[in-house]
Homo-oligomer: A and B are copies of this chain.
Amino acid sequence: MPILPSCESALSSLPESLLVGVSGGVDSVALLHALVKTEHKPVVLHFDHGWRAESGEDAEFVRELAEQLGLKYIGDKMRSTAKVHREAEARTARYAFFAKTSKRLGIADLVLAHHADDQVETFLMQLLRGSGAAGRGMDPVSRRDGLVLYRPWLGIWKKEIMAYARKHRLEWRDDATNVDTRHRRNLIRQRVLPYLQKQIGKQVPDNLLRAAEISRAESEWLDALCADAADQSELSVKTLQATPLAQQRRTILRWLQARGAKDISFIDVEAVRGLLENVSPAKINLSAGKFARRRAGKIFME
């Protein structure tokens, strides 16, 4: 029987030299505390999104916390003068800061405090809002902009983090990252999930967390099976025709993404898959003025 991880035991297989993203909210403050408790000495990174008038105070709070713990602190803030940033821009700026700092310090490994509630919300949003692949949630280990991102708490529920924070009498600030994502994520968190629990049963979040984990691991496996084909500059029609339907779809999705196509929908994937049949037009429009084309037994992107 697998033993359920605790806030501390979930951190046991992290690398020694680490960066940690700390917003000042309870999740990342608890993560920082648990890292120190398990004898890590992470460099504390804080990014001020400028979402609230008092967000400079969050930065000050995290800086002081790092100092108390004897840890190095590095902060930065959103350069844009716009009052409200879209979540995507804020995330891009935050990861650019993480990546730049990582390079400067020579530490690639960054720990983030995403937890089981975040995972369930992400999975449900992907499913209900649609995406090129079915929902798969966040990965416990992933790569982005030269960083290796660790999310050791994806199996830990928010309430366990709260219990940990209370037990250790931690102080924290309202999580600034919750402000911007309010509209979409808070709808899921505050309305949709409680409604589903009431209608279907208390176990809905557990079931969704399990489904997300199954999908995530399967997705990783499928990606590995498609990696060689998706890495090529063109796809071979004959080779692709000989593979199962789902492998065609997954290979095309990853190949388009690897060629820089953005916001690939299932319809795009199916359209490119249509190029495998001789009867269909030999050219497909993708988003942002890009095309996929069949010529001499190959599929190209232009």
Stretch at the interface among A21-29, A57-65, A124-132: A124-132
Q: Which of B128, B129, B192, B247 contacts A221 (CB 8 A)?
A: B247
A211 CB contact (under 8 Å) in B135, B196, B220, B267: B135
Which chain B residue lies CB-closest to A211?
B134
Q: Is the CB of A266 within 8 A of B130?
A: no
Say yes or no: is A260 at the interface (Cβ < 8 Å to chain B). no
**Is A171 engaged at the interface, CB distance under 8 Å to the other chain?**
no
| Copies of this chain, tallied across the complex | 2
Is the C-beta of A203 less than 8 angstroms from some C-beta in chain B?
yes
**B267-A244 in contact (CB<8A):** no
B-chain residues with CB within 8 Å of residue A199 when the two chains form the complex: 187, 191-192
Those of A111-160 within 8 Å (CB) of chain B: 127-130, 133-135
A2 at interface, CB cutoff 8 A: yes
Q: Which of B1, B201, B249 contacts A214 (CB 8 A)?
A: B249
Q: Which residues in B have their C-beta under 8 angstroms from that of A133?
A: 214
For residue A14, CB closer than 8 A to chain B, the reply is no
Contact A196 B128 (CB under 8 A): yes
Residues on the B chain within 8 Å of A177, using CB? none
Tell me the A235-257 residues at the B interface (CB within 8 Å). 244-247, 249-250
A207 / chain B contacts, CB cutoff of 8 Å? 127-130
Given A1-B271, A187-B200; 18 other pairs, CB 8 A cutoff: A2-B270, A127-B207, A128-B207, A129-B207, A130-B203, A134-B211, A134-B214, A134-B218, A135-B211, A191-B199, A195-B195, A214-B266, A215-B215, A217-B244, A217-B245, A217-B246, A218-B222, A221-B222
